[in-house]
A and B are shown apart, each in its own frame.
Chain A
Amino acid sequence: MAETTLTHTSQLDRPEGWRGIAADWASDQRAFKNVSWGKAMMWIFLLSDTFIFGCFLLSYMTARMSTRVPWPNPSKVFALHIGGSEVPLILIAIMTFVLISSSGTMAMAVNFGYRRDRRKTAILMLLTAALGATFVGMQAFEWTKLITEGVRPWGNPWGAAQFGSCFFMITGFHGTHVTIGVIFLIIVARKVWRGDFDTGRPGFFTSRRGHYENVEIMGLYWHFVDLVWVFIFAFFYLW
């Protein structure tokens, strides 16, 4: 029974370094000593999601390396006409800044959550959700623009046919993750606003009482979405 009660001490009386890894993982005990089950499970989910996006980026690499036809230049494909001149990748750059800003507001929300400042936490989470929704909106604009220009999963006007399928697959899955994140941000923000984590109100699905750690777990997911975009930005748009 004692195994399920959580210890959130910042200073555990346990060995550090390699000896600590061996001691934490050895024999029948919980490996993550000062991490709650919710946080550990979110990390493990994120790890599995890392493999999913890793496989997408890998298949994109394989498709791009193995085609004889030149790959379309993303710098030109994603350029916008602003004031008569072509600005390369400008929409993607703005999307990147929007997502990084949302990660910053999320980090602040987690911080204010642990300070039990309900108002600021909820407002910052809603701001994060708004920035996330902006990101999805800009992605929808980008998709529309490319589809009207003739990009399809099976071909495009500028070069290798695999460009379209890789683009729609990778950015589509990422956009889905952002959308789900926005929905959950709103749900958790509502709980914070209502004071669920102060009064210990049972959750609608698990009937378990939530803690302000839920905000941090939500934050882990949101930062992961930002993290994936860092890799997509580097490999798909800049490479």
Chain B
Amino acid sequence: MAEATANGLGQQALHSSHDAATAAKSDTHQEHPIKLYLVVWVWLFLLSACSYLVDYFGLHGYLRWSLILIFMMLKAGLIVAVFMHMAWERLAMMYAIILPPILVLVFVMMMVFEADYTLLTRIAFFGPGP
């Protein structure tokens, strides 16, 4: 379907009378069952409790960091996808909003090198920490 109609379809769709009719009841498009929100809410509570327990039980090293990151990403994903309704938006919107923050990881990588270098020079000039 897409190949033949991709070009110029946007203009036609926007100008069509069908859209003008549906625009009148414009406020109805992001309505989902309340049960979905309650389920996500419960999951957010559980995930928060889990990430708190990571600290409570004093887990250390890579286990701690990976668990923190997993719970964090799951929580962030649930909030953005369901509470902020991103799961129901068009891909053009999703990529415009979600892709740029992911590119910040490049900045993170640069600053990791920078911080390592700063630490190295500090140790070289001042000796190891007190």
Q: Which positions in A face B, CB cutoff 8 Å?
A: 2-3, 5-10, 12-25, 29, 31-36, 40, 43-44, 46-47, 50-51, 54, 58, 61-62, 65-70, 75, 88-89, 93, 96-97, 100-101, 103-104, 106-108, 110-111, 114-115, 211-213, 216, 219-220, 223-224, 226-227, 230-231, 233-234, 237-239
- A230 contacts B79, C-beta separation under 8 Å: yes
With A15-B5, A68-B129, A108-B37 in contact, is A89–B10 under 8 Å at CB?
A: no
Q: Report chain B residues within 8 Å CB of A93.
A: 48, 52
Q: How far in angstroms is the closest Cβ of chain A from B14?
A: 6
Q: Report chain A residues within 8 Å CB of B104.
A: 51, 54, 58
Instruction: Check: B93 CB closer than 8 A to any chain A CB.
Output: yes
Which of A36, A69, A226 has the most chain B CB atoms inside 10 A of its CB? A226
**B interface, by DSSP: helix, strand, loop or mixed?**
helix
Q: Which residue of B lies closest to A220 (CB)?
A: B84
Q: Report chain A residues within 8 Å CB of B34.
A: 108, 111
- B84 contacts A24, C-beta separation under 8 Å: no
Q: Which residue of A lies closest to B31 (CB)?
A: A114
- A103 contacts B6, C-beta separation under 8 Å: no
Q: Report chain A residues within 8 Å CB of B55.
A: 75, 88-89, 237-238
With A93-B48, A96-B52 in contact, is A24–B6 under 8 Å at CB?
A: no
- A21 contacts B29, C-beta separation under 8 Å: no
Q: How far in angstroms is the closest Cβ of chain B from A83?
A: 16
**Count of B interface residues, CB-CB < 8 Å:** 79
In Å, the complex CA distance between A66 and B89 comes to 41
- A33 contacts B92, C-beta separation under 8 Å: yes
Q: Report chain A residues within 8 Å CB of B101.
A: 47, 50-51, 54
Q: Report chain B residues within 8 Å CB of A238.
A: 51, 54-55, 64, 68
Interchain CB contact (< 8 A) of B13 among A12, A19, A21, A103? A12
Q: How far in angstroms is the closest Cβ of chain A from B93?
A: 5
Given A96-B52, A230-B76, 7 additional A-B pairs, CB 8 A: A2-B15, A17-B91, A24-B92, A66-B115, A106-B83, A231-B76, A237-B55
- B100 contacts A47, C-beta separation under 8 Å: yes
Counting from the closest, the 3 A-B pairs by CB-CB distance are A68-B129, A65-B115, A24-B92
Q: Report chain A residues within 8 Å CB of B84.
A: 219-220, 223-224
Q: Report chain B residues within 8 Å CB of A3.
A: 14
